Amino acid sequence: MLNLENVTKTFRPPASLGQEIVSLFGRRKETGAVLAVRNLSLQLKPGEILGLVGESGSGKSTLGRLMCGLYRPEAGRVIFEGRDLTTLDKREKQLLSLKIQFMFQDPASSLNPRLKARAALSEGLIIHHLGDRVQRRQTIDRLLEEVGLSPKLADRYPHQFSGGQRQRLCLARALSLNPSLLIADEPTSALDVSIQAQIIDLLLDLKAKRGLTMVLISHDLSLVCLMADRVAVMYGGQLMEVFPRRLLGQVEHHPYVKALWASADSATDDAFILDGEPPDPQNPPPGCPFHPRCPQADEICRTTIAPMKQLGPEYLGACHHLST
């Protein structure tokens, strides 16, 4: 369904902003560019749930936005159903939103505080001329019921909903155009544990009913493994591993995946505790981005980026010390 081919994304500050900072504080050092995603390739299969995992700053949210066309890569291609998203014009991008929808991480900030729930859910339907006023009202009532909210709440403002209800409202908005691909960025990160379980169950139920393909972005490997068919692990803007969920703990993983799993599973005997901090995206280290924190790193790790290689059926890894 979706192919990312050698995609790179860098964020650069405006030159004028850098000049203002220099003149105001008398500094001569320019603010650096942020390398968020570097030469990354990944495939998404129809009907699957792909879990995209990594620490904060690993580039996973940027990758999600590249997948749906919100960001344009400076290098590489994003192919959705045979079409290169980087070549679409404004009208074609608008039509793309009928097929791909993105759920943002913070439901409170992604909802317009001045719009009632019904108005927020109506926007996409109005933009794409889907139904008349009566039909749109019926569609919204049905969507609210589908995500577990009463249609009677449609005339409330976002601040009148709880955190879990706002997340359900954002989910209903994402589903209003009946997309085939849903990208959910940390959909449970700001919720209580009990509410998290409800949202997970709801996503799985909707996936089954609607036949959705989903990308679940999270820093929590244990959460992803409850839902995902495959797992892609990012670090420093690069992919470390891609593997089916059933292989977790059954193969020799990348050292970073071992560390994530050790932190997620307190009962594991293979504790793999990390020292140090994630790499600075403005000044990434040479070689493998994980080598400053990796106890297995040697000279080749410090100088050469490991290519992504096939380690087994559906199992890919980027480590000099992993072999088939």
Q: Name the 3-class secondary structure at 229.
A: coil
Locate tokens 């890919």: which residue?
A: 316
> Of 34, 95, 11, 102, which Cα lies nearest the Cα of 65?
102
pLDDT value, residue 55? 87
Calpha distance 229→248 (Å, rounded): 11
Residue pair 180/213 in contact by the 8 Å Cβ criterion: yes
pLDDT value, residue 78? 94
Asked if pLDDT for residue 269 goes beyond 70, the answer is no
Which domains, and CATH codes, for the chain? 2-99+179-317 (3.40.50.300)
- pLDDT digit string (tens) for 115-168? 999 999 999 999 999 989 999 999 999 999 999 999 999 999 999 998 889 989
pTM over 0.85: yes
Query: Sorting pLDDT into bands at 50, 70 and 90, what band is 181?
Result: very high
Helix 133-146 vs helix 163-175: crossing angle, to nearest 10: 130
Calpha distance 299→303 (Å, rounded): 6
CA 156 distance to own-chain centroid: 29
